[in-house]
Amino acid sequence: MRIGMVGLGKMGYNLVQNLLRHGHEAVVFDKDPAPGKRLAGLGAVPAENLEELVANLPAPRTVWMMVPAGKIVDSVIDSLLPLLDAGDVLIDGGNSHYKESVARSEKLAAHGIHYMDVGTSGGTEGAERGGCFMIGGDKDAFEKIEPIFRDMAVDKGYFYGGKSGSGHFLKMVHNGIEYGMMQAIAEGFEVLDKSGFDFDYEKVAEVWSNGSVIRGWLMELAGQAFSKDPKLEGIRGVMQSSGEGKWTVETALDLGANAPVIAMSLFMRYRSLETDTFHGKVVAALRNEFGGHAVVRSAD
């Protein structure tokens, strides 16, 4: 197939490489022309703008957006809308909130355009070598674009989840699980780190990656990280988050679902962004008030 790719960051760039390797054609655009030029060297058709990108696609067109979630998606949609025709397929491969995807799908359906929400997992490596795709939207439209997922995914690594929003919903929950799994692994290593034993963490991650119940890609990545920096002395434990974990907790709250572990994983990330906390000050002040327990002064 020949498809258009809008957004050539780490993920979009790698997806195009993946497509080309599988014999697909890609018309590519990014506001920064550099990655498009590099991809041209691999056989992609770089477009100078969205008009040119759309003009270079056969009808019915397939356009894949791989841009940051939020207003940028709406802005790209607004720019594409006048250029697309009924029957075209527009894919949002980013981490949009599933409710926004449902709303966008309805808006585009009024123009006869099939909006597909596609959650993409497997990291930058997966995007290039074979990732995991969770797909929501019209079933007919899915079947038309299925060949690209068959090729870009690892074996059995794509799934049509059903109606609009289901792809991004699955990706959101996937990331929520990821938060919990990462925190669980990290807590384990912290316990090792505070024990009297002097473990080689790379070796521990390696043995846990081979034959254990907790083996999996995250454990392999832990081994990879420890192989570069055995005690992670070069980095600080600042844990950013990009939204899907928070959305999972919010969704759990809305649905009355139990998600204590995912929620705690998120709070520990928030906590890591602060060097001091107001709640800590309050507790310290209270202990001082009732028991005369010493406080640590700010100047100390």
Residues of span 131-150 touching its own copies by CB under 8 A: 131-134
Is residue 261 within the footprint of its own copies (CB under 8 A)? yes
Q: Which of 83, 121, 146, 244 binds its own copies (CB under 8 A)?
A: 121
Confirm whether 178 is a catalytic residue. Answer: yes
Residue number with CB closer to its own copies (116 or 132): 132
- Name the nearest CA neighbour of 116 among 244, 3, 243: 3
Given 51, 52, 178, 220, the catalytic residue: 178
Count of alpha carbons within 13 angstroms of residue 69, beta-carbon side? 20
205: phi > 0 → left, psi -120 to 50 → alpha, else beta; which? Answer: alpha
Of 61, 31, 59, 27, whose CA–CA distance to 46 is shortest?
27
Cα–Cα distance between 37 and 280 in angstroms, integer?
A: 52
Q: Is residue 153 left, alpha or beta, with left meaning phi > 0 and alpha meaning psi from -120 to 50?
A: beta
For residue 273, the minimal CB distance to its own copies (Å) is 7
Query: Within a 10 A sphere around the Cβ of 14, how many other Cβ atoms?
Result: 23
- Residue 64 touches its own copies, criterion: CB under 8 A: no
Q: Would you say 82 or 260 has its CB closer to its own copies? A: 260
Among 10, 31, 37, 99, binds its own copies (CB under 8 A): 10
Cβ(63)–Cβ(3) below 8 Å: yes
Dihedral (Cα; 11, 13, 19, 25), 10-degree rounding: 140
Q: Tell which one of 42, 182, 230, 244 touches its own copies (CB under 8 A).
A: 182
Site track for its own copies across 201-220, x = CB under 8 A: --xx-xxxxxxxxxxxxxx-
Residue with tokens 């690594």: 157
Cα separation of 155 and 232, whole Å?
Answer: 34
122's tokens: 């497997």
Give the C-alpha separation, 254 to 232, whole Å: 38
Q: How far is the CB of 109 from its own copies (least distance, A)?
A: 18
Q: Is 171 a catalytic residue?
A: yes
Applying CB under 8 A, the site for its own copies has a residue count of 134
Using the rule CB under 8 A, which residue among 50, 117, 176, 244 binds its own copies?
A: 176
CB of 79 to its own copies, least distance (A): 27
Shortest Å distance, C-beta 299 to its own copies = 8
246 binds its own copies (CB under 8 A): yes
Residue at 19: amino acid letter? L
- The interface mask with its own copies, positions 34-53, x = CB under 8 A, is --------------------
Least Å distance, CB 175 to its own copies, is 8
Candidate list 59, 72, 86, 286; residue touching its own copies; CB under 8 A? 286
The residues assigned a catalytic role are 171, 178
